[in-house]
């Protein structure tokens, strides 16, 4: 880990706690998920890079998404943790205390600080995987996917720093809405995508539209796997 990355994590008081992280993995993956979902399906795992920087772009339909992602892409699968960019409101109180020790770090969606953006790029430069929900918040109803510009802008900023980051669209589906105990859950990885070179806004918007399409296709595959396909819009 570089000195800059260590310094920035210290400034934000975040990082992977060697005591809490393994315990959290045990509780969430070996107990909580197994009790909540009788089937947990991972589709197209070959699309997930196991090395080098990567941005994971999942759909966001329930709080369970944050547990499904480490199960499918975390330390037991790739040998590295999922570093989540989390809204500032989610990082408050006792929950925030735990999230900070599990590698999450806060971002103000309206006015992201340079410290936060620099930490994200430092993590990517260090070859880690970063999770960012590009819809911005949980969307509980089936409707067309609308993405914020934050993810594509971060990828373009990383490119200008010489870090070329594949973006993996991910769809997560549940047999019930909201998810119920003993239901089924599925996660589908889409093929990695590459953001256009440069910081052209129009190109970024076109990429976002393509990313939304790929996320929708992955979500449809996940929903079909649990027997609850998305109705056409």
Closest CA to 57 of 131, 117, 116: 131
Q: Is the pLDDT of residue 30 over 80?
A: yes
What domain count does the chain have? 1
| The Cα angle at residue 215 between residues 64 and 230, in degrees rounded to 5 | 75
User: Does the residue 231 lie in any domain?
Assistant: no
CATH of the domain at 45: 3.40.1130.10
Average pLDDT, stretch 140-158?
92
| 230 inside domain | no
Q: Which of the 8 DSSP states describes residue 31?
A: I
Q: What average pLDDT does range 162-167 have in this prediction? A: 95
Reported as a single tens digit per residue, the pLDDT across 51-101 is 999 999 999 999 999 999 999 999 999 999 999 998 888 878 878 888 888
Using a pLDDT cut of 70, give the percent of the chain over it.
97
What average pLDDT does this structure show over 101-124? 84
Contact 49, 127 (CB under 8 A): no
Do 34 and 159 meet the contact criterion of CB atoms below 8 Å apart? no
Residues 89 and 204 sit within 8 Å (Cβ to Cβ): no
Above 80 in pLDDT, residue 31?
yes
Residue 88 lies in a domain: yes
Give domain status of residue 11, yes or no. Answer: yes
User: 75: domain range?
Assistant: 3-225
In a domain, 84, yes or no: yes
* Alpha-helical runs (H) found in 142-193: 150-160
List the beta bridge partners of residue 88: none
CA–CA separation, 49 vs 47, rounded Å? 6
Average pLDDT for 196-215: 88
What is the average pLDDT across 15-29?
A: 92
Dmax over CA atoms of the chain, in Å, equals 50
232 in any annotated domain: no
User: pLDDT band at residue 197, thresholds of 50, 70 and 90?
Assistant: confident
Q: What is the pTM of this model?
A: 0.94
């Amino acid at each position: 880990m570089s000195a800059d990355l260590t310094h920035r994590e210290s400034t934000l008081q975040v990082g992977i706690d060697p005591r809490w992280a393994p315990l959290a993995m045990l509780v969430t993956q070996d107990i909580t998920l197994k009790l909540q979902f009788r089937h947990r399906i991972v589709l197209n795992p070959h699309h997930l890079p196991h090395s080098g920087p990567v941005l994971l772009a999942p759909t966001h339909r329930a709080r369970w998404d944050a547990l499904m992602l480490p199960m499918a892409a975390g330390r037991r699968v790739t040998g590295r943790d999922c570093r989540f960019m989390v809204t500032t409101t989610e990082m408050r109180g006792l929950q925030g205390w735990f999230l900070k020790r599990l590698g999450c770090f806060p971002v103000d969606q309206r006015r992201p600080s340079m410290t936060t953006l620099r930490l994200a790029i430092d993590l990517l430069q260090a070859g880690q995987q970063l999770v960012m929900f590009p819809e911005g918040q949980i969307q509980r109803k089936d409707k067309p996917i609308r993405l914020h510009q934050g993810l594509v802008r971060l990828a373009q900023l990383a490119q200008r720093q010489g870090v070329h980051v594949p973006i993996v669209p991910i769809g997560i589906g549940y047999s019930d809405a909201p998810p119920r105990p003993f239901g089924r859950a599925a996660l589908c990885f889409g093929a990695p995508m590459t953001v256009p070179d440069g910081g052209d806004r129009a190109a970024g918007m076109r990429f976002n539209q393509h990313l939304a399409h790929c996320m929708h296709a992955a979500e449809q595959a996940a929903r079909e796997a649990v027997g609850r396909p998305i109705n056409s819009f």
